[in-house]
Amino acid sequence: MEQYGFFTDTTLCIGCKACEVACKQWNQLPADGYKLSGYSYDNTVSLSATTWRHVAFVERPRVPDGMGKQVNWLMMSDVCKHCEHPGCMEACPTGAIIRNEFGNVYVQPDICNGCGYCVPSYPFGVIGRNEETGLASKCTLCYDRQKDGIEPACAKACPTDSIRFGKVGELQELARKRVTTLHERGETSAYLYGVDEDTSVGDLNAFFLLTDRPSVYNLPEKPRLPQENIATGFVTSALTAAFLALATTISLWSRKK
């Protein structure tokens, strides 16, 4: 199966939010209301069931100079990662979450029963439940546009080509060349997030070029599926049960004496 996805180059993002607007307009997503969040110019705060693209404004302090305290802005347009091993799809009891013919992780609204099991099973905090419909909802990678051979609305609207859409293999090759170019220019902190990483979610079909630690962009340093905690939790529970049984036995034996 040929897989399609996004390559988001944060060094080219200017924080215009054109991708957010285009996503909401094309997918007819409701407005989330306007309020000051306290996070720089970020009034969206995070991805949700009604916000499938989110532009983060990360302020990083620079060394103070004669003009006062200055900051550098790191901007990133976040989106569903369409993982190689999606935890949300594994947790779905009805088979509503599938991988479609373009390799995208897709939620079928007519099959979703709104149980919400997918929400905590996804380490990136993307998928959510729509408060009005009660159904799980997230980026579809503009499935309807792809079927007509048109690129997703967010990539189409991006004025700097920070968001690139295409075949994942070709995007990865393009991204590696971009990292090499940045290193040659002296930006040695540039690296790819979600490519060739040894994690339980596998490679990401929507991956990023970053210049700081993942946690700075509100991304997990080492994304893990919840299933990884099952064995540890079982062992811990077994040891706790054994300890309590031993303590109870000792207590009863002491009383008999």
State the amino acid at position 76 in one-letter form: M
Q: What percent of the chain has pLDDT over 90?
A: 65
The H-or-E segment that residue 75 falls in is strand 71-78
pTM of the predicted protein model: 0.82
209 in Cβ contact with 179 (< 8 Å): yes
Q: How confident is the model at residue 60 (pLDDT cuts 50, 70, 90)?
A: confident
Domain positions in the chain: 4-226, 227-257
Segment 95-137, tens digit of pLDDT = 999 999 999 999 999 999 999 999 988 889 899 999 889 999 9
More reliable by pLDDT, 214 or 41: 214
Give the side-chain half-sphere CA count within 13 A for 161: 5
The C-alpha atoms of residue 161 and residue 9 are separated, in whole angstroms, by 8
118 in Cβ contact with 85 (< 8 Å): no
Segment 216-250, tens digit of pLDDT = 999 999 888 876 655 454 445 655 666 676 667 77
Q: In degrees to the nearest 10, what's the CA dihedral of 217, 121, 229, 245?
A: 130
The H-or-E segment that residue 27 falls in is helix 18-27
CATH class, range 4-226: alpha beta
Q: How confident is the model at residue 23 (pLDDT cuts 50, 70, 90)?
A: very high
Residue (of 228, 48, 61) closest to 128 by Cα position = 48
